[in-house]
Structure 1
Amino acid sequence: MKLKYRTLQAAVRCALLSTSTVALLHTGNALAEDESNAEKTKNIEKIAVVGSRAAPRSIGSSPVPVDIIGGEELSKVGNSDMLEVLKGTVPSFNVHSNPISDAATLVRPANLRGLPSDSTLVLLNGKRRHRASVIAFLGGGINDGAQGPDISVIPSIALKQVEVLRDGAAAQYGSDAIAGVMNFVLKDASEGGTFEVRHGQYYEGDGDSTQIAGNIGLPFTDNGFANLSFQYKNADATSRSTQRADAIALTAAGVPDIDDPAQIWGTPEIEDDISIFGNVGLELTNDDEFYMFGNYSERDVRGGFYYRNPHTRPGVYSNDGGETLLVGDLTGDMSGNCPTNIQIDDNVLDNPEYINGVANNPDCFAFNEILPGGFTPNFGGNIVDTSFTAGVKGEFSDGWLKGWLYDASGSVGYNASRYFLYDTVNASLGPQTPRDFSPGKYEQLEKTFNFDITRTFDWGLYYDANVAGGIEWREETFTVIAGDEDSFEIGPLTEQGFSIGSNGFPGFKPSQAGEFTRRNYAAYIDIETPFTENFLMGWALRYEDYDSFGSTTNYKVTGHYTINDMFSLRGSLSTGFRAPTVGQANVSNVQTNLSSGVLVDSALLPPTNPIAVQLGGEELQPEESDSYTFGAVYQNGDFYLTMDYYNIDVEDRISQSEKIVLSDEDKDILKQAGVPNVDQLAQVSFFTNDFDTTTEGVDIVANYSTDLLDGFSTFSLAYNWNETEVTSFSDITGDFKVQRLEEDLPNHRGTATWSQQWDSFSGFVRVNYFGEYQGVHVDFDQTAKMADAAVTVDAEVTYYPTEAIGLSVGAQNIFDQEAEPLDFEDRTGIPNNNWGGLYYETSPFGFNGGYYYVKATYSF
């Protein structure tokens, strides 16, 4: 028993010092290491640190499932976006391309187990990662209103591995861990490094991307390390578009200056995308270590928007659906005798009343004079993300805490999104309108302080129990900064029916600007009890108190039973919560969206706004969840198999409401409250706790390694079945949103990978299966249909002319599997092609088609 005690305590100390406070599992889900490490890899026992802050143990005795994606696998993907890397390796992880989705174009939200992006807790080196400032107002149903972290800023070259805990863990880590936890572990080598150059292009000949990246490990005195990484890339936009039906008709009628295509469906242009990450560790004494890590990232993004038809766009060209032209009187006293009943017909430019009464009348104005072919705004933004964490961990050597291991740390994270609109107008300013605007800025600032301790105790069990505890304090601030004056100015033509603000995204007014802050603190206890040699249980309890909505207490119970050397059972039972973000509780915005095929302005209001309250809004409360998992582990030599079932019930889910049509009474109340431009608003929405869901599924992971074909082979199989049912909702959520929540993501996802190593060559082939999903285009419910299942194939081959140099060529979607096409015959008039797209935007593998790349790597 004494030997076991000393061995376990040393292992616990090792676990704490190497992983801080996170407890996650190493599976064999990664591709094989490079050929220099292949032999070592075959003989390494896979070790897990799971749930509690206890000792590492073999993977077969872990009570909860986690995937590890090793650094080598992260580098063997053509697309360098971390979201795409994870989508190709974790079957329950989904992300869409999100064309024409406002801020969701800038920071793409992702889904783990069919839940929104802010239901997955993201950690960096075991510490909570701050969320992005972007709120996905157009989040494709599932992510409507989600505000999760920006995972895309993390470069793969900086990572030692990614750990994906596939289990609810709010009792250990707090808010957001309903779907699971993702921990990004930075490299910690004190020597060596890598430099790589990568270039790729889609088969269609667009979307060119070039990336350079590097990593270097340096000694930090004789007792530490400083590991530094950078990534810089540019990516051109793509277009999977055809000319809109209305643009074709306008061109045929002789309307000039119409681009072909008038509206672009594709991924945005990304410029000057740079990320710098640093990870530092220093041994202070034999018992204590200092650590710090952080990042600075910045990028510019520019994407498409909806085309503004020069006959029908409300507030700019016509206010009665395109029957008569909207004409402004520039005299200031309405003495210009400007016509108000000019019929538009096929081409208003040919109408004599327009020619004589507007075009040749300096007192009268219509936007057809300066923008006869309409216009298509471009939406973009500058995204800045930075963080810094520092702490000390080790073992107390004296005092009443002698023998306890500790970890004390502080973190600050900041994300800012400055928005830009190009090629649009503030119609109320008439001919004096600028064409480019900065509508404003969102900022998210988070501060976190943690203190954690752990120790083993002899309670007469099979071996010593592990006891851990800790406290946490957090502060979250969401800031809205007003846009430039032209973006929200109420111009002289406002009273004549012209819309206010930059068209497509009116700027944030000073009255909307402000700083909103919330604080909370938490305390937890975590115990692991080995009752017998074969039976282990874990217990976790967490209390958390917020200064806004109050407190919540959550628990988790885990168990593992070993039947024999090859087979074991595991499971967990837990409660969880997700606190509403400060941004969700306070933000207001105006966005442009399609309603019954017409572009309209929709206002997002805080849920406590009088209009929101009148329509059913209430102060936001946290989501609450109950989940359980059970599974089995089989391991025989080099073959490893796990199968886990999970069930997650979430009550009072937070999301953006259905866009509710404003009545005349609603508009009167808004006018009395002093809201300008009310007549131009067609709809309102707000954040709400309106619906409940049950999500269930099965994860299967299998791995097998062997000597084959005069080399070393690794075979990996991962499969996920996931299904979400909305069990309770009201009209505030609406039937179509329920349909999107239940059907937009495929119920079945799978990957099968074969990785092969030889002396001078390596390569892999991955087959990806995507089950049926609901195809949706422009959030227009008449276009929804069930899309067919599809298979894509990725492959890469690397040649090593020397031990230091690797030359790779590869492709994603190598056979150019097409996304589900929109239903149309001649691309001129079928309803769901009216907006110029070729494919349903909800395709789980994207709509850009095949992508090939070349890469050169130098290691030293």
Structure 2
Amino acid sequence: MKTKLITTAIASALALPTAVAWAQDSGESVDVAAERIQVIGSRLSVRTATEGSAPVDIITGEDLIAAGFTETAKALQYAVPSFNFPSSSITDGSDAVRPASLRGLSPDHTLVLINGKRRHASALVHLNGTTGRGSSNVDLNAIPISAIKRIEVLRDGAAAQYGSDAIAGVINIVLKDNSEGGDLSFSAGQTYEGDGEQFKLHGSVGFNLNDRGAFVIAAEYHDKARTNRAGLDPRQQYPLIDGQPDPREQTFNRKSHHVGDAEFENIAIFFNTDYQLDNGSLYAFGGFSERRTKSGAFYRRAIDDRNLIEVYPDGFLPLLSPDTNDISLAAGYRFTVSEWDADLSVIYGESEFNYRLENSLNASLGPSTPTEFDAGTLVHDELNVTFEVSRLIPFYNYSDLAVAFGVSYRENGYQVKAGEPASYENGGFDNRPAGSQGFTGFRPDSEVNESRDNTGLYVELENMLTENFQWGAALRYEDYSDFGSNTSWKLSGRYEFSPNLAIRGATNTGFRAPSVQQLYFTNISTLFVNRDGELVPEQSGTFNNISSVARELEIGNLRPEESQSYSFGVVWNGDNGLSLTVDAYQIEIDDRIILSSSLIPSDSPAVADALAAAGADNARFFINAVDTTTRGLDIVVAQRFDLGAYGSLRAQAAYGYNETKVDAVNLPSILDGLDDKLFDNVERTRMTRSVPRNSATLSMTHSYEKWTNHVAFSYFGDYILENNAGVRTKFSGKWIADVSTRYQFTDNLAFKFGVQNLFDTYPDEQLPQNQFNGIFIYPNTNAPFGFNGGYYYGEITYRF
């Protein structure tokens, strides 16, 4: 019985880009118009989004629910053009926790906060061909959409303000805090093809705490069936009978592979509370989510040496069925000391990724092999303790200087737990491949239980020097137990020429500490490789930074990635409701960490010696190797129209451009000459061209009496993928159309019907040589808008 499911914050719906831009540029979304709010990027000042010195998108909770998407990250993708959330299939654990990124950078270059507090990252390391290979990211889909009041996306470097990881920007999820009322929604839908059926039930309710605070609890349940766009497998499936094809070849279901979205079941519960005291307030938030995902590996034919016909006479499709669990709890106390506002908080978070295999086998164990396996578990936990004080101090020309300084302590732990013996052991049967098919289990010598800690000190200043000029400065020092210290800074400013026109800009240095996943992840497995017609076992895998292979190759300890960023923008707010923002940026990153390609003894004598010392036949590892420069431009224009007797119309157009170039590849001297091996063209293309450089949205929302109609067009530009044979494939840009209509039956009850990808648009088909016998018709990794085609849904909502 499935019980699981995370909370995918089904984030159902994505903020209509329209509302996003409106909130960002005119400050008049549902949330922003009603009150001047503190926005990410300006933690000391109470201001609307456009009054800051950096671009901020605000997506309200209402908009997230309204757009009909079932994943928080996908909702953000359609709301913020510079945010990428590509689809992938047959990529092991990445089918369950997909990578997401901002401004074309790595997934781990974006910091995620909840209520302004750091959120822990997933335990999973992306290893198999996806964007951000070698990285780990926060699982946004572990946060229920029903718990979200709004999402703020700061598109600017902010490591000096918020610490490691904030090179591309910051995503801050603000939880609901209503003291009364609630909502309950049920939705269901499926693709035009008739698969991918899903339904979700989600809601929230707020309670008044003696007029001194609020307690909000939100929950979601989401069940989704798989989609499958695989082609038919034309290959021979069965051994010959007396030299003739087996008759079963004629009846075999040749759509045997699964190339599409994984099926999953999510369940999640979150809470948010605060309580006012005589001299301050107590607050807490957190939650639990669990997801069970099922996705296919490559089909093992009956004739395959990895199959046992005694177990699977017709072959089998191994199913990777991981359990993904997230828990988090934050508690804090805000109080006043003299004229200083203080905030003491403690946050703990943990991500657990348990690899499970179903419909599999270990061929080396013979016909008595199990068919289900526990292949091991990854665990990442994080503890944050922060104390901050802030106040306003009289300054030049009767203005106030906002001052804040604080100290933070963070501890990260990482564990790799071995799977059950049957998932990795070699039983010796008939010289068959060892380990569970679909994913070989973690062996005992891959087990890790390590941790590291760091302490940070920071100060921030912000001031309206004149009525027209605002400036800010931040400085942060952090000391890590494993690689030393780092100091980062930020300067920002905004000048208002008139009530309509302003310019803004910022420059900053940033850093991203190597994650504990990159420091300690290891997976060593025995693979059987065809050598001159004979299957021979090889010790292969990913070796961490403290391994003997890394020491022998003199790789040295992983160092932090360091960045230098510049941004400049123009803001226009017209008297007629028209708003326009244009922001350009450049981000230079040195010593980016990559996961290398596999090295073998023939690559060099040094590699041969290192592998021999480790008892391995090939190896890959994490290494600081690449310097890059990313340049981009974000444009958002929005307009509200009063149509009189015909209601009102909100319209928005948004455009994002980013381009990443590799400036240098820097390797240890012992690895000179292996640049093309460690960072080959496949990885270079993945880093620079696997996500669209151009993206855009055009959306309109019309409200008339009890009807609300929404139309959106989203553009995903061209992108390039490259295979190991050096074949580069360029996939052209595509427009996606989404429509929905909502009718308010009563003050409490509403119904909505919508269609995503109205015109059933698919990516370009792959070149024939990349289709694996015609099975992979569409790119199974890095597809910006997926390859499911059209989807229609209905939703009913009750508010109380």
Q: TM-score by structure 1 length?
A: 0.83
Offset at residue 239 of structure 1 (A): 0.3
1:774 to 712, 720, 726: 720
CA distance in 2 between counterparts of 1:65 and 1:722 reads 15
2:732 alignment counterpart: 788
Identify if the C-alpha distance between structure 1 residues 38 and 737 changes in structure 2 by more than 3 Å, giving closer, same or farther.
closer
1:81 alignment counterpart: 71
| Residue 163 of structure 2 is aligned to residue 174 of structure 1 | yes
> Any conservation in 2 of the 1:38–1:712 contact (CA below 8 Å)?
no
Identify if the C-alpha distance between structure 1 residues 514 and 453 changes in structure 2 by more than 3 Å, giving closer, same or farther.
same
| Residue 68 of structure 2 is aligned to residue 70 of structure 1 | no
CA distance in 1 between counterparts of 2:73 and 2:601 reads 38
What are the residue-to-residue correspondences of 1:808-827 with 2, within 5 Å? 808-824=752-768
Identify if the C-alpha distance between structure 1 residues 450 and 783 changes in structure 2 by more than 3 Å, giving closer, same or farther.
same
2:291 alignment counterpart: 299
| Residue 560 of structure 2 is aligned to residue 622 of structure 1 | yes
CA distance in 2 between counterparts of 1:48 and 1:783 reads 49
CA distance in 1 between counterparts of 2:339 and 2:230 reads 65
Structure 1, residues 702-721: CA drift from partner, whole Å, max 9, x if none?
11112126212111221101
The letter of the residue matching 2:542 is L
Structure 1, residues 459-516: CA drift from partner, whole Å, max 9, x if none?
32450111110110011001111111211223234xx743332233221222222311
CA distance in 2 between counterparts of 1:41 and 1:608 reads 49
| Residue 748 of structure 2 is aligned to residue 804 of structure 1 | yes
3-state SS of paired residue (1:144): coil
CA distance in 2 between counterparts of 1:566 and 1:446 reads 44
1:639 alignment counterpart: 578
Offset at residue 256 of structure 1 (A): 4.5
The letter of the residue matching 1:79 is F
Identify if the C-alpha distance between structure 1 residues 161 and 255 changes in structure 2 by more than 3 Å, giving closer, same or farther.
farther
The letter of the residue matching 2:214 is F
3-state SS of paired residue (1:786): strand
The letter of the residue matching 1:182 is I
3-state SS of paired residue (1:746): coil
2:592 to 653, 657, 668: 653
The letter of the residue matching 1:547 is S
1:389 to 327, 330, 352: 330
1:607 alignment counterpart: 545
1:270 to 259, 264, 267: 264
| Residue 228 of structure 2 is aligned to residue 290 of structure 1 | no
3-state SS of paired residue (2:367): helix
1:457 alignment counterpart: 393
The letter of the residue matching 1:387 is S
CA distance in 1 between counterparts of 2:112 and 2:528 reads 33
CA distance in 2 between counterparts of 1:248 and 1:103 reads 27
> Any conservation in 1 of the 2:636–2:655 contact (CA below 8 Å)?
yes
* Range that drifts further, 153-162 or 601-610: 601-610
CA distance in 2 between counterparts of 1:720 and 1:814 reads 23
Identify if the C-alpha distance between structure 1 residues 487 and 820 changes in structure 2 by more than 3 Å, giving closer, same or farther.
same
2:498 to 564, 578, 584: 564
> Any conservation in 1 of the 2:770–2:776 contact (CA below 8 Å)?
no
Identify if the C-alpha distance between structure 1 residues 671 and 552 changes in structure 2 by more than 3 Å, giving closer, same or farther.
closer
CA distance in 2 between counterparts of 1:294 and 1:261 reads 43
What are the residue-to-residue correspondences of 1:265-344 with 2, within 5 Å? 265-271=259-265, 273-285=266-278, 287-311=279-303, 313=305, 316=306
CA distance in 2 between counterparts of 1:454 and 1:813 reads 48
Offset at residue 380 of structure 1 (A): 1.6
Offset at residue 609 of structure 1 (A): 2.4
1:850 to 787, 790, 795: 790
1:189 to 149, 173, 178: 178
> Any conservation in 2 of the 1:61–1:568 contact (CA below 8 Å)?
no
Structure 1, residues 318-340: CA drift from partner, whole Å, max 9, x if none?
xxxxxxxxxxxxxxxxxxxxxxx
Offset at residue 41 of structure 1 (A): 7.8
3-state SS of paired residue (1:72): helix
> Any conservation in 1 of the 2:88–2:98 contact (CA below 8 Å)?
yes
CA distance in 2 between counterparts of 1:250 and 1:791 reads 46
3-state SS of paired residue (2:509): strand
1:399 alignment counterpart: none
2:6 alignment counterpart: none
Identify if the C-alpha distance between structure 1 residues 182 and 619 changes in structure 2 by more than 3 Å, giving closer, same or farther.
same
CA distance in 2 between counterparts of 1:259 and 1:101 reads 23
Identify if the C-alpha distance between structure 1 residues 171 and 739 changes in structure 2 by more than 3 Å, giving closer, same or farther.
same
> Any conservation in 1 of the 2:49–2:55 contact (CA below 8 Å)?
no
Structure 1, residues 75-112: CA drift from partner, whole Å, max 9, x if none?
12222111111111110111122101111111111011
2:101 alignment counterpart: 111
Offset at residue 737 of structure 1 (A): 0.9
CA distance in 2 between counterparts of 1:748 and 1:595 reads 41
Identify if the C-alpha distance between structure 1 residues 568 and 268 changes in structure 2 by more than 3 Å, giving closer, same or farther.
same
> Any conservation in 2 of the 1:538–1:559 contact (CA below 8 Å)?
yes
The letter of the residue matching 1:660 is L
| Residue 487 of structure 2 is aligned to residue 487 of structure 1 | no
Offset at residue 533 of structure 1 (A): 2.1
3-state SS of paired residue (1:168): coil
Identify if the C-alpha distance between structure 1 residues 104 and 763 changes in structure 2 by more than 3 Å, giving closer, same or farther.
same
| Residue 464 of structure 2 is aligned to residue 530 of structure 1 | yes
| Residue 773 of structure 2 is aligned to residue 834 of structure 1 | yes
CA distance in 1 between counterparts of 2:505 and 2:148 reads 29
Structure 1, residues 150-208: CA drift from partner, whole Å, max 9, x if none?
11111222111000000000001111101100000000000010000000101110010
> Any conservation in 2 of the 1:378–1:423 contact (CA below 8 Å)?
yes
1:413 to 349, 357, 360: 349
3-state SS of paired residue (2:44): coil
3-state SS of paired residue (1:246): coil
> Any conservation in 1 of the 2:344–2:387 contact (CA below 8 Å)?
yes
Offset at residue 614 of structure 1 (A): 4.7
CA distance in 1 between counterparts of 2:572 and 2:608 reads 66
What are the residue-to-residue correspondences of 1:224-235 with 2, within 5 Å? 224-235=213-224
Unaligned residue ranges in structure 1 (runs of 5+): 1-26, 318-366, 397-401, 825-829
* Range that drifts further, 604-613 or 684-693: 604-613
CA distance in 2 between counterparts of 1:302 and 1:822 reads 25
The structure that has the greater radius of gyration is 1
2:86 to 87, 96, 102: 96
2:706 to 735, 740, 760: 760
Offset at residue 736 of structure 1 (A): 1.8
> Any conservation in 2 of the 1:50–1:64 contact (CA below 8 Å)?
no
Structure 1, residues 269-321: CA drift from partner, whole Å, max 9, x if none?
102x1010100010111x411100001100100101012345565xx47xxxx
> Any conservation in 1 of the 2:22–2:652 contact (CA below 8 Å)?
no
The letter of the residue matching 1:269 is E
CA distance in 1 between counterparts of 2:367 and 2:493 reads 70
The letter of the residue matching 1:603 is G
CA distance in 1 between counterparts of 2:239 and 2:626 reads 44
3-state SS of paired residue (1:742): helix
Structure 1, residues 661-698: CA drift from partner, whole Å, max 9, x if none?
454989986886675xx6xx6x4211111111111100
Identify if the C-alpha distance between structure 1 residues 775 and 750 changes in structure 2 by more than 3 Å, giving closer, same or farther.
same
CA distance in 2 between counterparts of 1:618 and 1:435 reads 41
Unaligned residue ranges in structure 2 (runs of 5+): 1-16, 666-674
3-state SS of paired residue (2:135): coil
> Any conservation in 2 of the 1:698–1:722 contact (CA below 8 Å)?
yes
> Any conservation in 1 of the 2:22–2:638 contact (CA below 8 Å)?
no
CA distance in 2 between counterparts of 1:253 and 1:207 reads 35
CA distance in 2 between counterparts of 1:31 and 1:568 reads 17
Offset at residue 370 of structure 1 (A): 4.4
2:375 alignment counterpart: 439
3-state SS of paired residue (2:493): strand
